[in-house]
Amino acid sequence: MKALLIDDERMARREMRHLLEAHPEIEIVGEADSGHAALSLLPSLKPEVLFLDVQMPEMDGFEFVHAMAEHTARIIFCTAYDAHALRAFEVNAVDYLLKPVDPARLASAIQRLSDSSPIAIQEETPLRETDRVLLKGEHRTWFVPVRSIYLLQSEGNYTQVFFEGGKVLLPRSLGALEQRLNLPLFFRANRAQVINTRAITQVAEWFNGGLQVTLNSGDQVEISRRQAALFRREKAL
């Protein structure tokens, strides 16, 4: 994977080169000491990933991201400041590393390059199980793997999304999110709930031909009679 290092500090670029020596899958094809210099290199170098500083003179990291909109390189921010992390994920950064960069965190970021492409939940591109999504709440935003979402529950025109580590109320209907999460691991249990079948730990027969499932979170969800018949057909050996 071809990489371009963008940082106005020469020592920071040297340190990143040193850290990336442990990752032969990453080929450093160039360096730039400013956003303007990096823009001039993109057409010829065609990097697939950018290790990008945030605070740089003349053009900061976010201004650079907007300026390179026509290019498809993925971004790992590397900065000494943690105040911009939320904004970084809002522009679909793969990861946000704090200087001095911890080798283990760098390894995790590079693994994400292989495993997933970050996609905001509002976009309409197809999702994969290995993707990560932005879940924007009123006071906080999470960046979570799709497969960590175990329950979606309708709240009128809103949907409560439960995931490993928290929950968030999104201003989208359950039907709209069900279309975005059109993956085999998600199943419409009833009119108000969609479950992640990999989170099911127990299944019990329920009233009128329905089923009651217990999720690994401890939540219990009723699968309606009609959906139970579909569930049996799809999941039975």
For residue 107, give the CATH number of its domain.
3.40.50.2300
| 17 pLDDT higher than 60 | yes
Percent of the chain with pLDDT over 70: 93
- Residue 211 CA, chain-centre distance (Å), reads 32
The reply to whether 110 and 139 lie within a common domain is no
Same domain for 9 and 67: yes
> In Å, how far are 32, 35, 86, 98, 187 from 63, measured between CA atoms?
15, 8, 15, 19, 41
Inside any domain, residue 219: yes
Q: What is the DSSP letter of 170?
A: E
Evaluate whether residue 83 is within a structural domain. yes
Report yes or no on 87 lying in a domain.
yes
Q: How many residues does the chain have?
A: 237
In eight-state DSSP terms, residue 146 is G
Confidence of residue 126 (pLDDT cuts 50, 70, 90): low
Using the predicted structure, report yes or no on whether residue 182 has a pLDDT greater than 50.
yes
Residues 111 and 210 in one domain: no
How many domains in the chain?
2
- Token representation of residue 61: 């990291």
Mean pLDDT of 38-60: 92
Shared domain for 106 and 176, answered yes or no, is no
- The pLDDT tens digits of the residues spanning 188-209 come to 999 999 999 999 999 999 988 9
Which pLDDT tens digit goes with each residue over 51-73?
A: 999 999 889 998 898 888 667 78
**216 lies in a domain?**
yes
**pTM, full prediction:** 0.51
Of the candidates 115, 150, 169, which is a domain's last residue?
115
Domain that holds residue 23: 2-115
* Same structural domain, 110 and 33: yes
Specify the DSSP element, H or E, that contains 188: strand 186-190
Query: Which CATH number fits the domain that encloses residue 217?
Result: 2.40.50.1020
pLDDT tens-digit profile of 85-123? 777 777 778 888 999 999 999 998 998 887 644 444 444
- pLDDT (0 to 100) of residue 136: 80
Is residue 156 located within the same domain as residue 101?
A: no
| 125 in a structural domain | no
Is residue 125 pLDDT above 60, yes or no?
A: no
